[in-house]
A and B are shown apart, each in its own frame.
Chain A
């Protein structure tokens, strides 16, 4: 956690993302035009969010296996930074929708509001929002840690169906849905240009590492400020 190499790696990868993301050639496509470069930022927010939620889920399971209070702190802060990434992904998506779906494809606001990908992502983020509401409503530390760990597992179980599976079952304007010819642009190697993949994957790693860094800072602050709890638990 205190090692420095991955923090430098995150910095280098993000500098690479910005320099190559703006300067390298991208495929010339109608509707998308230059906004295709948003892939290096908007999509990375969602990938970072998913990875941070997976880490949070793992720590919740670890907490329930041994009831080590440390794991609860880890789960909480990874979920918090994941939510931050999710909100940023949502906001950047709103801007992108505005120039591609609404302006260029001439979709009405009504059809954008009915968009299953947006609704699914909102549901997922709200479920994680409820995780923090739940945490805040307990006064007993052990009860809070236990019940919110169980809830976190439920929230994780809802995450992938609501952001991936349901939008792909019903039609969606978002790439990757039936009815759009875009295939699976983030993961399928045939659906994304090779120079774009050269920037996209490092960008995902860079943004995720930045999120992990921020999460570890918050965890370390929590551990410091709740030192008395740890000492009391050791005496037990």
Chain B
């Protein structure tokens, strides 16, 4: 029993030491593919913005031609 507790404690410390060796990055997010959701959301916003600006651009061009 004591050995078991010791092992648990030692492994706990070793994970702590491991965590401090290497900076923590969002590796889980990358491995389960959720990062693609983030990319998709940002791309949707970007494309939406560009379509909006493009429509304004076309409207101004139309007014410029009519004057």
User: Which A residues fall within an 8 A CB radius of B?
Assistant: 2, 7, 11, 14-15, 18-19, 22-23, 28-34, 210, 213-214, 217, 220-221, 224, 227
**Chain A contacts of B42 at CB under 8 A?**
18, 22
Contact between chains at B23 and A224 (CB < 8 Å): no
**Chain B contacts of A15 at CB under 8 A?**
43, 46-47
Q: Does B1 contact A (CB under 8 A)?
A: no
**Chain B contacts of A18 at CB under 8 A?**
39, 42-43, 46
* Cα A145 to Cα B57 with chains together (Å): 26
**Chain A contacts of B56 at CB under 8 A?**
217
State how many residues of chain B have any CB contact under 8 Å with chain A.
22
* Cα A8 to Cα B46 with chains together (Å): 13
Contact between chains at A7 and B46 (CB < 8 Å): no
**Chain B contacts of A227 at CB under 8 A?**
67
Q: Which of B24, B25, B64: most chain A Cβ within 10 A?
A: B25
Apart from A11-B50, A18-B46, A19-B43: 9 A-B pairs, beta carbons within 8 A: A18-B42, A19-B39, A22-B35, A22-B38, A23-B35, A29-B23, A30-B23, A33-B23, A224-B64
Contact between chains at B53 and A214 (CB < 8 Å): yes
Contact between chains at A217 and B53 (CB < 8 Å): yes
Q: Which of B22, B23, B67: most chain A Cβ within 10 A?
A: B23
Task: State the main secondary structure of chain B at its contact with A.
Answer: helix
Contact between chains at A28 and B43 (CB < 8 Å): no
A224-B63 contact in complex given A7-B54, A30-B23, A33-B24, C-beta closer than 8 Å:
yes
**Chain B contacts of A7 at CB under 8 A?**
54, 57
A28-B23 contact in complex given A22-B42, A224-B64, C-beta closer than 8 Å:
yes
0/1 string, B22-66, CB within 8 A of A gives 1:
111110000000010011001100110010011011001101100
* Cα A81 to Cα B59 with chains together (Å): 20
The smallest C-beta distance from B54 to any residue of chain A, in angstroms, reads 7
Contact between chains at B64 and A220 (CB < 8 Å): yes
* Cα A31 to Cα B20 with chains together (Å): 11
Give A32's nearest chain B residue, CB to CB.
B23
The smallest C-beta distance from A164 to any residue of chain B, in angstroms, reads 29
Give A214's nearest chain B residue, CB to CB.
B53
Contact between chains at B22 and A28 (CB < 8 Å): yes
Can you report 23 residue pairs joining A to B where beta carbons are below 8 Å apart?
Answer: A14-B46, A15-B43, A18-B39, A18-B42, A18-B43, A18-B46, A22-B35, A22-B42, A23-B39, A28-B25, A29-B23, A30-B23, A31-B23, A33-B25, A33-B26, A34-B25, A213-B57, A214-B53, A217-B53, A217-B56, A220-B60, A221-B60, A224-B60
